[in-house]
Structure 1
Amino acid sequence: MKHVSILIPKGHTSVVNIEGTHQIFNDVNSILKNMERPPLFKVQLVGISKETSQRNGLFKIDADVLIGDVKKTDLIIIPAIHGDPKTMMENNAAFIPWIVKQYNAGAEVASLCIASFFLAATGLLNGKQCATHWAAANDFRNTFPEVTLVDDKIMTEEDGIYTSGGAYSFTNLLVYIIEKYAGRDVAVMIAKMFMIDIDRISQSPFIIFQGQKTHDDEPIKQAQEYIENNFEEKITVDQLASMFALGRRNMERRFKKATANTVTEYIQRVKIEVAKKNLEKSRKNVNEVMYEVGYSDTKAFRTVFKRITGLSPVEYRTKYNRESAIA
């Protein structure tokens, strides 16, 4: 039997992550019972105090056991922890050596959504790939440059460490882990019971590109603003370098350092973000939208659009345009 430890951190934690994980793993046992198979998971809520207040007292969660009582576990689940990062780390510092010790003893570890920040603070993610909520991607890169963030992925697995993307995508990671432990048939049953898209692997369709302006490189900020205000034009790296009195190589180096995107990637993402909004809200066809954001080559536009969003322009409009959805 696999021992699953769902952590109950102090502070503003995702109650949905905690309760959802608890319910799904216990329902696996119910499914196995109906299949006349033995239960697979022993699920416990593990805390650093017996009673933990959540969301400013709106909820209270009682831990089944404290970390000192768990000598060995097989899977640690870290739910998303919100609020001031420094306070979050101070309140929950006691978990870190326990997580590291359990991992070194053979336990697997999974972070859900922005719990990747807490997991990264253990050092266990150094040199590994990691997913997190797309909205926190820039902050994560700045805070943990030694971790390889893949902000388009809905989940990652490497050396017994799992991470999931934003919000409710944690259910996709749970189904993935269940398939690994209990088999495809049980994973499919859980996916059907909870109506989870079992093989979804990307959070790209949900990303809203907002740029990255929490840096102090003023010429690069001005270049970003120029790109955003002139998205319909054909903008080149040489043009921007000349406008802001920078050499091309220096421009590219500073832009990548400040924004985590190359100049070309940034231009493409700005154009595609405008295209996405037009496809969501207007009645314009794909070609009209394409021309308005400065593309004249249909194949190039569709290729870039799908690489960034994971969907073709037509698929995206069908998914998010209200009139298309109703039709």
Structure 2
Amino acid sequence: MKHVSILVPRGHTSLTNIEGTHQILSEVNNFMAMQGRDPLFKIQLVGLSKETSQRNGLFTVKPDILISELEKTDLIIIPALMGDPVVAMDLNQELLPWITTQYENGAEVASFCIGTFFLAATGLLDGKQCATHWRLANEFRNAFPNALLVDDKIMTEEDGIFTSGGAYSYLNLLLYLIEKYAGRDIAILTSKAFMIDIDRISQSPFIMFQGQKSHEDEPVKQAQEFIEKNFHEKITVDQLASMLALGRRSLERRFKKATCNTVTEYIQRVKMEAAKKGLETGRKNINELMYDVGYSDTKSFRGTFKRITGLSPIEYRNKYNKEAVSNN
């Protein structure tokens, strides 16, 4: 039987992650029993105190066991810790060495959504791929430059460490873990019972690009604002460098450092965000939208759109603009 430790940190934590994981893994045990098989998981809520207040006292969670009482576990689940990550780490300092020790003793570790910030504080993500909520991708990179964030992935796995992307993508990671431990048949049964879309691997279709401006490099901010106001035009790096009286290499280096995107990537993402909004709310055809965002080559536009969103323009419209589709 695999021992699963669902952490109950102090502070403001995703109760959905905690209760949802407990419910789904408990149901897996029921599915196993229905098939005449032994239960697979021993599931415990593991915390730092006998009672943990959540949501400013609105809820109280009572862990089954404290970390001081649990010598060994097989899988640690880290839920999303809300609010200021620094405050969350201060409140839960004792958990960090415990997670590291358990991992070194053979436990696997899974973090959900922004729980990846807490996992990264252990150092276990240094040099490893990981995912978190796309909205906090830049903040994560700034805080943990040694971790290899892949902001389009719904989940990652490397050396017994698992991470999931934004919000309810924790369900997809849970299904992945269930398939790993219980087999494909039980994972499919679970996906049907809870109506979770199995085999979804990308959060790209859900990403809303919001220009990264939490930096102090004024020329780069000017370049960003110019791109965002003139996305319908063909914009080049040389044009921006000349406008700002900077050398091309200097602009590219500073832009990448400030935004985590190259200039070309930023231009493409701004254009694709405009195209996405057009597909979500308008009725223009694909070619019209392509010209609106400054593209003249259909193949290039479609290729860039799919690389950034994970969907073709038509697939994206079908997913997010039912009214336009039904009226065609």
TM-score range for the pair, normalised by the shorter chain length = over 0.9
Q: What do residues 197-228 of structure 1 show as CA deviations (whole Å, max 9, x unaligned)?
A: 11000000000000111111110010000000
The share of aligned pairs that are identical, in percent, is 72
Tell me the equivalent position of 1:98.
Answer: 98
Where does 1:26-105 land on structure 2 (aligned, <5 Å)? 26-105=26-105
Where does 1:92-131 land on structure 2 (aligned, <5 Å)? 92-131=92-131
| 8 A Cα contact 2:282 2:324, kept in partner | no
Tell me the distance in 2 between the aligned counterparts of 1:277 and 1:25.
38
Tell me the equivalent position of 2:279.
Answer: 279
| 8 A Cα contact 1:290 1:296, kept in partner | yes
Where does 1:227-306 land on structure 2 (aligned, <5 Å)? 227-306=227-306
Structure 2: gaps (5+ residues)? none
Tell me the equivalent position of 1:165.
Answer: 165
Shift of 1:324: 4.0
User: SS state of the match for residue 294, structure 1?
Assistant: coil
Tell me the distance in 1 between the aligned counterparts of 2:86 and 2:270.
32
Q: What do residues 15-50 of structure 1 show as CA deviations (whole Å, max 9, x unaligned)?
A: 000000001111110000001010000000000011
Tell me the distance in 1 between the aligned counterparts of 2:187 and 2:85.
34
Tell me the distance in 1 between the aligned counterparts of 2:138 and 2:44.
33
Tell me the distance in 1 between the aligned counterparts of 2:36 and 2:86.
48
Shift of 1:86: 1.9
| 8 A Cα contact 1:281 1:322, kept in partner | no
| Residue 140 of structure 2 corresponds to residue 179 of structure 1 | no
Tell me the equivalent position of 2:215.
Answer: 215
Q: CA RMSD in A?
A: 0.9
| 8 A Cα contact 1:319 1:325, kept in partner | no
Tell me the distance in 1 between the aligned counterparts of 2:324 and 2:66.
51
Tell me the distance in 1 between the aligned counterparts of 2:130 and 2:84.
21
Shift of 1:326: 5.7
Shift of 1:170: 0.2
Tell me the distance in 2 between the aligned counterparts of 1:49 and 1:60.
11
In structure 2, what residue type is equivalent to 1:31?
F
Shift of 1:245: 1.0
| 8 A Cα contact 2:283 2:324, kept in partner | no
Tell me the distance in 1 between the aligned counterparts of 2:164 and 2:87.
23
Tell me the equivalent position of 1:307.
Answer: 307
Moved over 6 A (4+): none
User: SS state of the match for residue 81, structure 1?
Assistant: coil
| 8 A Cα contact 2:12 2:83, kept in partner | yes
Name the TM-score, length of structure 2 as normaliser: 0.98
User: SS state of the match for residue 12, structure 1?
Assistant: coil
In structure 1, what residue type is equivalent to 2:20?
G
